[in-house]
Structure 1
Amino acid sequence: MPSVSNKGLQMPQSPIRKLVPFAENAKKNGVKVIHLNIGQPDIKTPQQALDAVKNNDIAVLEYSRTEGSETFRTKIAQYYSKNNIPVDPSDIIVTTGGSEALSFTMNSIADTDDEIIIPEPFYANYNGFATACGVKVVPVVSKLENNFALPPIEEFEKLITSRTRAILICNPGNPTGYLYSKEEIQKLAKLVKKHNIFLVADEVYREFTYDNRTHASILKEEGIDDHAIIIDSVSKRYSMCGARIGFLVSKNKEFIATALKFAQARLSPPTYAQIASEAAMDTPDTYFEEVKTEYETRRNLLIAELQKIEGIKIAKPQGAFYCIAELPIKDADHFAQWLLEDFRVDNETVMVAPAAGFYATEGLGTNQIRIAYVLDKESLKRAVHILAEALKIYKG
């Protein structure tokens, strides 16, 4: 039998999705599974986005421009301007989700065996994109005890070599919910200028910050226009995960021109999804105020309920809608599978994401889980109750 590629063999499984078969089997047996494992918001998509697709009169569903339609990119630029980030439509490439934006970025800035430094834990698919692009992830550890704050800048500098091409952060963070301060962003900006490398920021959760904190975008930092690349998406901002529309934003013209060549190879982003996303850009600020308030309330409830469970350690999220919890167990992968296969409370169980897959360093995060608080408060409370009952009897 022909063999598959080494790259394919090395491709990591998603810690978020690898337990799906066990969840589906539980559901087939009549068990209700409460999903804490995936960042799929239950917030309604803005109606004008849905109506824009429903009510259009397209007769021929044509290719769009490779970089995305002019009108959509103009709307995106206006959105950034409203957030005090002046960019031009020519600084933007529309992609098929933030995932494609990350893939284009890695391919555009790094060659095989080049290195990108990422604070861990990080969005698990960074590992997958790096493997697909032949790029080496160099992790710098952030710790639950420090709420996953930016590690000391000296720790980054120790890791920079002749093969280092970028530092990649997620702000606010997935899976930690940590929100980098302006001072932390300034330290990173100074470092990338010193070593002439890129600073890539995944800012898809920009709107969701709590406790009166504000988001510090890398494109607001002076003097790093040639170094700064933003990854963005409509998925979480407008609860439109299925649209698969993201975008790259950078004032580095050579980078944009290079990424565009990778975009040309896949022809164009989807037309209907762009129509919906363009309409979503007109969503009033009140939408975000309500959504932000809802997520902050959910966060507060989740943290309060988790703190009632003996032996659990929790990092308090300052943004996004994720939380890392350290459990009084050894193997979160086994525990998560056991929940789906063997544990029930009133014929209900929960699905969590084991956190080891959010690390690049072997052995870290093995007793941690990521929880996405994208469900209503009653469901969250019920899920934590089930977790508490499970931990009372789990023997590992």
Structure 2
Amino acid sequence: MLEVSQRGRAMPVSPYRKLTPFADEAKQRGVHVYHLNIGQPDIETPPAMMAAVQQADIRVLEYSPSAGSVSYRQKLAAYYQRAGMNVVPDDILVTSGGSEAIFFAMMSCLNPGDEVIVPEPFYGAYTAFAIATTVNIVPVTSTMDEGFALPAISEFEKVITPRTKAILICNPNNPTGYVYSRTELEQMRDLCLRHNLYFLSDEAYREFCYDSEYFSAFQLEGAEEHVVLLDTVSKRYSACGARLGALVTKNKQLQATALKFAQMRVSAPGLSQLMGEAATELPDSYFEHTKAEYTARRDLMVSRLRAMPGVYCPVPGGAFYVVARLPVDDSEKFCQWLLEAFTYDNQTVMLSPGAGFYATPGLGNDEVRLAYVLNLDDLNVALTCLEKGLAAYPGRKHAPEETAVLQEAKA
């Protein structure tokens, strides 16, 4: 009998897509599903990006250089320079989405069996990348009660072994929305220098910081050989389908190594690089509008969640996600129940169960990640669906005051 690979059997299902079959079945029944499960913004992709492809005079759609087209890398370097980063075109390897940048980084920085330390909860796909590259994730847990702030550096020190080769962060964080401060980044830099580790910084949401100025790991002094910036246009410009990202490092040996992996897949999408060039020329006002919109969505989501009995969430400082603790027996069961058995005015909501964002067994079982990627009207309706669903869910955990009211009603 033919068998699939052990690697394939170990590969997890995406925590934000795993319930898609249940959402599809709900839609087939005529139920409207509001998607708060995945970071797919409904904000319009900048028309200038679309026009760059529509108006291109191309007779033959050729391969681009494996590192990316020279013109795009030049314009992308200028974008980073405007953001305060000392980046030149040769520091940039253009990738097929941020996902490929993460994959190339793991393949280039770590050997099979090596360890990468990641604060949890973390972007769910990191687990899949680690399995694909036969690397082990070592989690250091941040807690909701602390707002998902960076754990003490001593907690990182405790788990460093001879197999530890890198630290990986997402800043602003997916799924928590936490924004690491300059002080926290400097602490991680010092740790990487002490133990000779790579510092991998996934900065997909750089433009979306709502309460403070953003500071990039690439701006850290004295760590040029250690820092690897992982980036994408997907969220920044609401262009997820472009599949255009970048791996940025001043480490020449690492850059040359990553290029060999890039040559393996030949080139990043040529049409997307045209879109990327157009994106680098957008005015700053583009981000002023999108930040204002996401700030309003965040404030609505947090206020609505905190008004629901038994629900708690911190206020995220960036990105467009909230991790919330729910009064339910099991968040995955609850999320599936919302799609299988619940409707409110023939509508329901799709969420991402929290456990898929942790490596430590048992954590996240009463948490969900919600993406505030819908316009305010739709977001408000989706949160009403969630509120009604929580009230009706058979596995709801009642707070002591709710239990007392129920017992009095029964009496």
TM-score by length of 1: 0.99
Residues 157-179 of structure 1: per-residue CA shift (max 9 Å, x gap): 11111110100000000000000
Q: In the TM superposition, what are the counterparts of 1:92-131 in structure 2 within 5 Å?
A: 92-131=92-131
Query: Secondary structure at the residue paired with 1:81?
Result: helix
Structure 1 segments, 4+ long, off by >4 Å, are: none
Q: Which residue of 1 aligns with 2:30?
A: 30
Match status 1:208 vs 2:213 = no
Tell me which residue corresponds to 2:5: 5
The aligned amino acid for 2:357 is F
Aligned partners of 1:80 and 1:272: how far apart in 2?
A: 21
Report the Cα offset of residue 29 of structure 1. 1.0
Aligned equivalent of 1:366: 365
Query: Structure 2 CA distance, aligned partners of 1:35 and 1:333?
Result: 15
CA distance in 1, matches of 2:81, 2:321: 28
* SS of aligned partner of 1:384: helix
Q: 2:52 aligns to what?
A: 52
| Structure 1 unaligned blocks of 5 or more | none
Per the TM alignment, residue 109 of structure 1 is displaced from its structure 2 partner at its CA by 0.6
**Offset at residue 124 of structure 1 (A):** 0.2
Which whole-Å CA distance do the structure 1 matches of 2:389 and 2:249 have between them? Answer: 47
Aligned residue for 1:237? 236
Distance in 2 between residues matched to 1:77 and 1:272, nearest whole Å: 19
| 1:167 maps to amino acid | I
CA drift at 1:291: 0.3
Superposition pairs of residues 55-94 of structure 1, within 5 angstroms = 55-94=55-94
Deviations 1:112-141 (CA, angstroms, capped at 9, x unpaired): 110000000000000000000000000000
Q: Deviations over 1:301-357 (max 9, x none)?
A: 111111110101102100000000000012111111100011000000000000100
Instruction: Summarize deviations over 1:167-209 as a string: whole Å, max 9, x none.
Output: 0000000000000000000100110000011111000100000
Q: What SS class does the counterpart of residue 50 from structure 2 fall into?
A: helix
Determine helix, strand or coil for the equivalent of 2:307.
coil
Matched, 1:143 2:143: yes
- What is the distance in 2 between the residues matched to 1:283 and 1:362? 44
User: C-alpha distance in 1, partners of 2:276/2:336?
Assistant: 36
Secondary structure of residue in 2 paired with 1:255: helix
3-state SS of paired residue (1:292) = helix
1:260-301 per-residue CA deviation (whole Å, 9 max, x = no partner) reads 001100000011111111111111100100100110011001
Partner residue, 2:330: 331
1:260 alignment partner AA? L
Q: Which residue of 2 aligns with 1:268?
A: 267
Return the alpha-carbon distance in structure 2 between the equivalents of residues 147 and 379 of structure 1: 27
Give the Cα–Cα distance (whole angstroms) in 2 for the partners of residues 81 and 391 of structure 1.
47
Q: Distance in 2 between matches of 1:5 and 1:33?
A: 35
CA distance in 2, matches of 1:161, 1:354: 31
Corresponding residue number in structure 2 for 1:40: 40
Matching residue of 1:174: 174
- Tell which deviates more after alignment, 165-174 or 276-285: 276-285
AA partner of residue 271 (structure 2) = Y
Q: Partner letter of residue 376 of structure 1?
A: N
| Paired AA for residue 146 in structure 1 | E
CA shift digits 1:344-395 (9 cap, x unpaired): 0000000000010000111100110000001011111111111111111211
Amino acid of the structure 2 residue aligned with 1:352: L
Please give the alpha-carbon distance, in whole angstroms, between the structure 1 residues aligned to 2:262 and 2:378: 41
Alignment-mate amino acid for residue 36 of structure 1: L
Q: Which residue matches 1:17?
A: 17
Q: Deviations over 1:38-76 (max 9, x none)?
A: 100111111111001001111011100000000000011
State the partner residue of 2:199.
199
Distance 1:230 1:154 in 2: 24
Q: Which moved more, 1:145-154 or 1:269-278?
A: 269-278
Q: Which amino acid in structure 2 is aligned with residue 73 of structure 1?
A: R
| Per-residue Cα deviation, 1:80-132 (whole angstroms, up to 9, x for no partner) | 10011011100000000000000000000111110000000000000000000
Q: Deviations over 1:218-266 (max 9, x none)?
A: 1111100000000000000011000000000001111100000011000
- Corresponding residue for residue 400 of structure 2: none
RMSD: 0.6
The size of the alignment, in residue pairs, is 395
Match of 1:51, SS?
A: helix
Query: Quick one: distance in 1 between partners of 2:391 and 2:83?
Result: 47
Give the letter for the 1:181 counterpart: S
Q: Which residue of 1 aligns with 2:248?
A: 249
Amino acid at match of 2:3: S
Q: TM-score, normalised by structure 2?
A: 0.95
Which runs of structure 2 are paired with 1:288-327 in the superposition (5 Å)? 288-327=287-326
Comparing 270-279 with 184-193, which one deviates more in the overlay?
270-279
1:17 and 1:141 map into 2 onto residues whose CA distance is 24
- Report the equivalent of 1:383: 382
Letter in 1 for 2:260: K
Distance across 1 between alignment mates of 2:85 and 2:329: 45
SS of residue paired to 1:313: coil
Query: What letter corresponds to residue 48 of structure 1 in structure 2?
Result: A
